[in-house]
């Protein structure tokens, strides 16, 4: 057992001044019944905590760190940029370059607005959709997360699922009533909502590969059907690719599956580890935004030079090295190792994976939607999590998150992870699970 002295001290201080000691609830180890470790630094596939313990990391900042932590060329780019000042409240060349790069790799992204978080991308996308259609309602899927804007905090996946809060207090019920909830991979639930009030629905918003109820892949054809339903009913299709964008391929995973979203949300990877978000779509729809059109949206630090430079560098490394086949192979290696580990230890569960995103659910034999995800054994997961941490492997502290691989994870790292998982699953047997 490694020392947690410094982390515990920091946790105690943080608890006094910061609600729950964290600035984002998913960072608390509440669902696994412990105080979180405090991180000092990261390097490649590892992170080091305040007590100088080093962990192999599968959180990867919840997605942005696809090149691993402190990637040399990204660090160099940020340092270089920082010398030039941190933002000017004026447009910069870098923003043009990032918009051009996103647009050249995502067909539907004719125009791009940069914001500071995925949450902002989501609320902006909804506002545009409502303005474009003149309709109030939005359809989302149970278990999909689109940031914490009021309209989207309904059945919103990982954070809420982990803490047992499907919906947030403080969201006016009149607003929540405009968010209609469908079941992932159950197109008939979307059809039903459209049948009831087709003229009220502005948009359907979806994670084309869901990663916030744990990883759940879309059924073949279900996204195509969504695109068709929205088109036939005069509603927009918003693909939330804040996680999947530039992670599963260089660009949009929806487009790689033959879907043409009306609006796309990006974040995480396109900021290279710095705060960022983006909403993009056709020139016609995007020109609804001020200062061209009537939809107001703004941000003091939107498109700030450090985020944009970090994002540009990350994307250019991804474009040059094209690591997607290798990331997929690494994911496949981890997936099959974890499947074997479940089998060997007699634990029931399943492994869902999309490229370098992966979730091992403990309990259910398949997970295709949030209801099936919720049948997972969270107490068992908590014990598994601590088994992994004690063996130097940092996985997300929730059954309902994805593990993230980076280009810095080696086969040896993955094999070590599989060995640790096998031992941790064995411990579950010993503990009466
Ligand atoms: C992380 C995430 C968001 C929110 O992004 P923030 O930058 O955390 O506000 C939105 N949608 C999806 C799919 C995400 O994974």
User: Does the C-beta of 158 come closer than 6 Å to ligand 1?
Assistant: no
Strand positions, DSSP E, 44-145: 46-49, 54-57, 111-115, 137-141
Tokens of 317: 């490394």
Which entry of 30, 57, 111, 145 is annotated as an active-site residue?
145
Q: Are 92 and 104 in contact (CB under 8 A)?
A: no
SS3 assignment, position 360: strand
Other beta carbons within 10 Å of 328: 17
How far away, in angstroms, is 192 Cα from ligand 1 center?
Answer: 27
How far away, in angstroms, is 209 Cα from ligand 1 center?
Answer: 13
Task: Give domain 73-320's CATH architecture.
Answer: 3-Layer(aba) Sandwich (3.40)
pLDDT of amino acid 166: 59
Cα angle 394-423-411, degrees, rounded to a multiple of 5? 60
Which entry of 30, 111, 140, 268 is annotated as an active-site residue?
268
Which entry of 49, 57, 142, 240 is annotated as an active-site residue?
240
User: Does the C-beta of 146 come closer than 6 Å to ligand 1?
Assistant: yes
pLDDT of amino acid 2: 75
* β-bridge mates for residue 361, sequence order: 350
Element (H, E) at 227: helix 222-232
The backbone torsions φ and ψ at residue 166, rounded to the nearest 5 degrees and listed phi first, read -65, -30
pLDDT of amino acid 86: 96
SS3 assignment, position 106: coil
Q: Please give the average pLDDT of every successive group of 10 residues along the chain, which has 433 residues.
A: 90 98 95 96 98 98 98 98 97 98 98 98 98 97 95 77 70 90 96 95 98 96 96 98 98 97 98 98 98 98 97 98 98 98 98 98 98 96 97 97 98 98 95 71
Other beta carbons within 10 Å of 415: 13
How far away, in angstroms, is 431 Cα from ligand 1 center?
Answer: 36
Task: Please indicate whether residue 145 is annotated as part of the active site.
Answer: yes
CA distance 63 to 278: 15
Tokens of 15: 């608890």
SS3 assignment, position 131: helix
User: Does the C-beta of 212 come closer than 6 Å to ligand 1?
Assistant: yes
**Extents of the domains making up the chain:** 5-70+323-429, 73-320
User: Does the C-beta of 143 come closer than 6 Å to ligand 1?
Assistant: no
User: Does the C-beta of 245 come closer than 6 Å to ligand 1?
Assistant: no
Task: Please indicate whether residue 371 is annotated as part of the active site.
Answer: no
User: Does the C-beta of 213 come closer than 6 Å to ligand 1?
Assistant: no
User: Does the C-beta of 273 come closer than 6 Å to ligand 1?
Assistant: no
User: Does the C-beta of 147 come closer than 6 Å to ligand 1?
Assistant: yes
Mutate to test the pocket of ligand 1, among 26, 115, 119 (most ligand atoms within 8 A of CB): 119
Task: Please indicate whether residue 324 is annotated as part of the active site.
Answer: no
Burial of 88 (0-12, 13-18, 19+ CB in 10 A): exposed
* Cα→Cα distances 429→332, 346, 347, Å: 26, 8, 8
CA distance 229 to 337: 39
SS3 assignment, position 429: helix
CA distance 318 to 320: 6
Tokens of 104: 């050249």
pLDDT of amino acid 318: 98
How far away, in angstroms, is 262 Cα from ligand 1 center?
Answer: 19
Mutate to test the pocket of ligand 1, among 244, 267, 275 (most ligand atoms within 8 A of CB): 267
Any idea what DSSP says for residue 152? G
Residue-wise pLDDT for 16-61, tens only, equals: 999 999 999 999 999 999 999 999 999 999 999 999 999 999 999 9
How far away, in angstroms, is 300 Cα from ligand 1 center?
Answer: 20
Q: Between β-strands 111-115 and 349-354, what pairing exists: parallel, antiparallel or unpaired? A: unpaired
Residue-wise pLDDT for 358-409, tens only, equals: 999 999 999 999 999 999 999 999 999 999 999 999 999 999 999 999 999 9
How far away, in angstroms, is 357 Cα from ligand 1 center?
Answer: 15
pLDDT of amino acid 162: 61
Q: Are 132 and 285 in contact (CB under 8 A)?
A: yes
CATH fold of the domain at 5-70+323-429: 3.90.1150
The conformational region for residue 185 under phi > 0 = left, psi -120 to 50 = alpha, else beta, is left
């Amino acid at each position: 057992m490694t020392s947690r002295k410094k982390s515990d001290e920091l946790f105690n201080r943080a608890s006094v001044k910061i609600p729950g000691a964290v600035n984002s609830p998913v960072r608390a180890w509440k669902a696994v019944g412990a105080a979180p470790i405090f991180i000092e630094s990261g390097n490649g596939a590892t992170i080091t905590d305040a007590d100088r313990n080093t962990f192999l990391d599968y959180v990867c900042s919840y997605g942005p760190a696809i090149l691993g932590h402190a990637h040399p060329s990204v660090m160099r780019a940020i340092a270089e940029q920082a010398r030039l000042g941190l933002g000017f409240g004026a447009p910069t060349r870098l923003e043009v370059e990032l918009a051009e790069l996103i647009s050249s790799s995502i067909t539907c992204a004719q125009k791009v607005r940069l914001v500071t978080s995925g949450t902002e991308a989501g609320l902006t996308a909804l506002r545009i959709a409502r303005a474009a259609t003149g309709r109030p309602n939005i359809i989302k899927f149970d278990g999909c997360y689109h940031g914490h804007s009021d309209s989207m905090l309904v059945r919103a996946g990982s954070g809420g699922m982990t803490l047992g809060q499907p919906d947030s207090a403080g969201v006016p019920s009149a607003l929540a009533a405009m968010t209609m909830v469908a079941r992932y991979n159950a197109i008939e639930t979307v059809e039903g909502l459209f049948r009831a009030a087709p003229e009220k629905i502005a948009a359907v918003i979806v994670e084309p590969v869901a990663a916030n109820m744990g990883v759940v892949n879309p059924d073949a054809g279900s996204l195509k059907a969504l695109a068709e339903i929205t088109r036939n009913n005069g509603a927009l299709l918003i693909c939330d690719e804040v996680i999947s964008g530039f992670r599963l391929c260089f660009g949009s995973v929806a487009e790689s599956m033959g879907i043409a979203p009306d609006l796309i949300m990006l974040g995480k990877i396109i900021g290279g580890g710095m705060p960022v978000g983006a909403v993009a779509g056709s020139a016609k729809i995007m020109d609804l935004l001020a200062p061209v059109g009537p939809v107001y949206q703004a941000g003091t630090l939107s498109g700030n030079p450090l985020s944009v430079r970090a994002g540009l560098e990350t994307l250019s490394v991804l474009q040059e090295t094209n690591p997607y086949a290798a990331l997929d192979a690494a994911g496949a290696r981890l997936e099959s190792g974890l499947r074997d580990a479940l089998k060997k230890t007699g634990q029931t569960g399943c492994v869902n994976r999309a490229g370098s995103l992966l979730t091992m659910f403990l309990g259910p034999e398949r997970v295709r939607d949030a209801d099936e995800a919720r049948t997972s054994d969270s107490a068992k997961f908590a014990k598994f999590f601590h088994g992994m941490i004690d063996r130097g492997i940092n996985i997300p502290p929730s059954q309902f998150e994805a593990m993230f691989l980076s280009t810095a994870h080696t086969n040896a790292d993955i094999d070590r992870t599989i060995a640790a998982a096998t031992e941790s699953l064995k411990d579950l047997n010993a503990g009466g699970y």
